[in-house]
Amino acid sequence: MNDIDIVKAIQSWDKDSYVVLYDKYIKKIYDFVYYKVWNQSDAEDISSDVFLKAYDKIWTFDIKRQSSFSSWLYTIASNLVIDFYRTKKEVVDTDLISERPVYTNMLWDIQNRDKIQQVLEYLDTLDPDHKEIIIMRIWNDMSYNEIADVTWKSVDNCKQIFSRTMKKIASNVSIEALLLFIFLMK
């Protein structure tokens, strides 16, 4: 079953079908949120809220008008992250990246922490919209169509921003550091 068929089933009062959508998207939504808040606990809370809100609003999802369920879900996640920062009014602390249990070898951590920090610091200098597109494309494996739906930009604009931003990153960060960072965040 594709997403639209599952949404139709849910809208026909088959509430158990929602578990299928949850299982399919929970890791993707969590990663999307995590890369915006850089805090495991906050990312878990916001991700939970995304699925609660999506469940409450699934009846308003217009199968004929909306391009995809995943874009709709990412839009909810993006809006909840904005709400989170509105209420918190804090700056993201990228040092919290160590919260994510991505790797465990201590020596390896020490040797590569500077490379990872170099990429994080450079990402923080990017325009927030550009950073969001990079994160959605690389770490969330979203298509340009999905990114365009979430960001309200055209597909061509998203492609152009991605291409130009990746060129900027590649010219300002070592390729080794960038590849390491991409590998760890997948």
Is residue 164 one of the residues assigned to a domain? yes
DSSP state at residue 140: S
| 77 and 108 co-located in one domain | no
Give the 3-state secondary structure of 76-101.
Answer: HHHHHHHHHHHHHCCCCCHHHHHHCC
Phi-psi group of 39: left, alpha or beta (phi > 0 → left; psi -120 to 50 → alpha; rest → beta): beta
| 22 and 57 co-located in one domain | yes
Nearest one of 161, 98, 99 to 135, comparing CA atoms? 161
Is residue 40 one of the residues assigned to a domain? yes
- Domain end, chosen from 55, 88, 121, is at 88
Q: Is 126 helix (H, G, I), strand (E, B) or coil?
A: coil
- Domain end, chosen from 45, 66, 88, is at 88
Question: What does pTM read for this prediction?
Answer: 0.61
Domain with residue 120: its CATH number is 1.10.10
> Number of structural domains, the chain?
2
| 108 and 73 co-located in one domain | no
Query: Which of the residues in the chain have pLDDT under 70?
Result: 67, 89-113, 178-186
Give me Rg for the CA atoms of the chain. 18
| 114 and 168 co-located in one domain | yes
What pLDDT sits at residue 26? Answer: 94
- Domain end, chosen from 58, 88, 118, is at 88
| 58 and 130 co-located in one domain | no
| 117 and 164 co-located in one domain | yes
Task: Report whether 29 contacts 37 (CB < 8 A).
Answer: no
Residues 30, 43: Cα–Cα separation, whole Å? 6
Is residue 94 one of the residues assigned to a domain? no
| 107 and 83 co-located in one domain | no
| 65 and 121 co-located in one domain | no
| 106 and 179 co-located in one domain | yes
The string of pLDDT tens digits covering residues 87-119 is 875 444 444 444 444 444 445 555 566 777 777
| 114 and 138 co-located in one domain | yes
Domain with residue 32: its CATH number is 1.10.1740.10
φ/ψ of residue 91, rounded to 5: -90, 140
Which residue range forms the structural domain that includes residue 168?
Answer: 102-185
